Chains A and B, each alone.
Chain A
Amino acid sequence: MILVAIDTSTEQGSIAIARDGVTLAVEASQGGSHTVWLLAALDRLLRDVGLGRDNIDGFGVVVGPGSFTGLRIGIAMTKGLAAASGKACAPVVSLDAIAAAIAAAMGSAMKGDCTGRILAPVIDARKGEVYFALYKVEKSGLRRLREPAPASPQEFLAASAGAIVGGNGTRLPVIADHPGIEIVALPPVAQQAAAIAFSIFSAGHQVPPEELEPIYLRIP
């Protein structure tokens, strides 16, 4: 199954094309508007892997939490691609994908490198807050311990003590400079979004494009 996965939940967007959850090619944004780079990147990826648009079996998209405008661009574009192709979509929670990216960056969760460890993906939510969730690395995969929610950086630091941290929330000085914090740099998150999207399709939980909705976690 060929899936295209899109992540525009932060300013560092990425897009991946994967077969059965395994990434064939991935491209990260080089800055600039998500509206502009995303389709050009999709076009390059398809050419790079020698596939056509009609080979795509479905779409995964990161639906939040994250940048409101970023999420809407990624979702609107995914809705358009899905409507044009008649294919279904898999909504991916941003923090789930980032947690998987942290695990990937640490080696492989399945190899037991960090089995038992707590992962704390964190996104800069602006207005002095972050979005975060907590995950435990188990032999069978990642288990979500705490649901995604907005919080102050201090609340995040208290909840994530001893955890491995990743995501653009780590650029906040109060988090970056926290003594003893273990931060990992992440690969483009669209790769993990593609793997999660594949598991959603495999479980039959894909949705038609009109059912894709952002997870805002904040009222306007």
Chain B
Amino acid sequence: MLILGIETSCDEASAAVLEDGRRILSNVIYSQDEIHNRYGGVVPELASREHLRKIDSVVATALEQAGVGIREIDAYAVTRGPGLIGSLLIGISYAKALAYFRQKPLFGVNHLIGHIHAVFLEHEKPPLPFMALVVSGGHTSLVYSATDGSVSTIGKTRDDAAGEAFDKVAKMLGLGYPGGPKIEKMAREGRGSIRFSRVKISDGSLDFSFSGLKTAVLYHLRENPATEQTVPGICASFQRACVEALVEQTERALQQYPASAILLCGGVACNAKLREAMSHLARRHALPCLIPSPRLCADNGAMIAAASVACDPVSPLDLDGDPNLRIPAVAERKGTA
């Protein structure tokens, strides 16, 4: 069984061929970082234009590297949301046309579920229930996979995603885009001794907030303009505050929701300090901590193909993009929202 997975939800165009839901035959990722670098963030119109320019070659290369032809593909999977609508529609329109013409099943995958399934490409799926922290440039969500197989959002960011905060702080410091790797590299040379104030969510929810932290850095820079000597310390301090916020909230979630494992995924899961801190948290709770290798943390087609096992096929005639697609909260699932 060969599945072609296509992902174009933000600024990475990716296509992958997956065999039997697990074995990656190819996973081609075309990053637009260079295009968006000068703007300090993703420019949606530029991203859409670039996706259209690259979609053919990304898919063709994925097929070539897998050593298969389009006629050998048994099913198609594509990200249907959440994401930038203009970007989503390129992958969706292309995948729909392939599935329709070849008369094969099509799966419209939730991008966040895709990130969780990236974990299972390299690790055995843990027994239910488990907890996943999905953290990227566009998303910061705690997702709980319950014993009955239901998947719910139990915490989410109320403003910026963690990765977005990295991008914005990197922009303030003139480090370029994407901010995550730039800040992480700088932080290695600095000490995280500045205490940036964080917004603590006081209503007992498991939500996150990163815009206050970003503003704290902004105010600090107004009083203390960045110099070559101070940037590493600012980066280390900001990174530490972000990691602490993510780990603290995950730990609070574990106190409320029993879990057999902690999963960390999404682009920010490439961050070594976060990986280390989350592994440490898991050890304290005697739980396994499952994190994909960095290449599978980034947006990629293999995770979308892998996540097709978690959805029902849709008609290629009906599928549309949903930029605000969510994983329902527990209360919504129980019909009490």
Contact = CB atoms under 8 A, between A and B. Distances in A.
Interface of A: 33, 35-36, 39-40, 42-43, 53, 68-69, 72-73, 75-81, 83-85, 209-210, 213-214, 216, 220
A40 B57 contact: no
B94 A80 contact: yes
B318 interface: yes
B43 interface: yes
A77 B93 contact: yes
Contacts of A79: 55-56, 94, 97
A209 B320 CA distance: 22
A81 B97 contact: yes
Interface stretch (B44-52, B146-154, B162-170): B44-52
B56 A85 contact: no
B265 interface: no
23 contacts: A35-B92, A35-B321, A36-B317, A36-B318, A43-B100, A53-B103, A72-B48, A72-B49, A76-B52, A76-B55, A78-B97, A80-B95, A80-B96, A80-B98, A83-B56, A83-B70, A84-B70, A84-B97, A84-B98, A84-B101, A210-B60, A214-B52, A220-B46
A72 B52 contact: yes
B94 A69 contact: no
Nearest to B44: A220
Given A76-B90, A81-B97, A40 B317 contact: yes
Given A35-B92, A35-B321, A77-B97, 15 more contacts: A33-B320, A35-B93, A36-B318, A36-B319, A39-B97, A72-B49, A72-B89, A76-B52, A76-B97, A81-B97, A83-B60, A85-B101, A209-B56, A213-B53, A220-B49
B40 to A, nearest CB: 15
Interface residues of B, dominant DSSP: helix
Contacts of A35: 89, 92-93, 96, 319-321
B232 interface: no
B113 interface: no
Contacts, number: 93
A40 B315 CA distance: 10
A69 B86 contact: yes
**Top 5 closest A-B pairs, CB basis?**
A80-B97, A84-B101, A76-B93, A220-B45, A210-B56
Interface in B236-253: none
Nearest to B317: A40
Nearest to A36: B320
Interface in B17-52: 43, 45-46, 48-49, 52
Contacts of A83: 56, 59-60, 70, 94, 97-98
Contact of A39 (B57, B59, B90, B316): B316
A108 B98 CA distance: 38
A76 B320 contact: no
B82 to A, nearest CB: 16
B102 interface: yes
Contact of A76 (B85, B89, B103, B318): B89
A83 B86 CA distance: 21
B317 A53 contact: no
A33 B320 CA distance: 8
B295 to A, nearest CB: 25
A79 to B, nearest CB: 6
A69 B89 contact: yes
A73 B70 contact: no
B320 to A, nearest CB: 5
A214 B55 CA distance: 14
A51 to B, nearest CB: 13
Interface string B315-333: 0111111000000000000
Contacts of B95: 80
B19 to A, nearest CB: 20
A53 B100 CA distance: 9
Contacts of B49: 72, 214, 216, 220
B96 A39 contact: yes
A76 B92 CA distance: 9
B46 A53 contact: no
Contacts of B316: 39
Contacts of B45: 68, 220
A220 B318 CA distance: 30
Contacts of B46: 220
A10 B53 CA distance: 21
Contacts of B97: 39, 76-81, 83-84
A75 B45 CA distance: 16
Contacts of A73: 89, 93
Contacts of B55: 76, 79
A84 B102 contact: yes
A67 B232 CA distance: 45
B43 A220 contact: yes
Nearest to A76: B93
Nearest to A41: B317
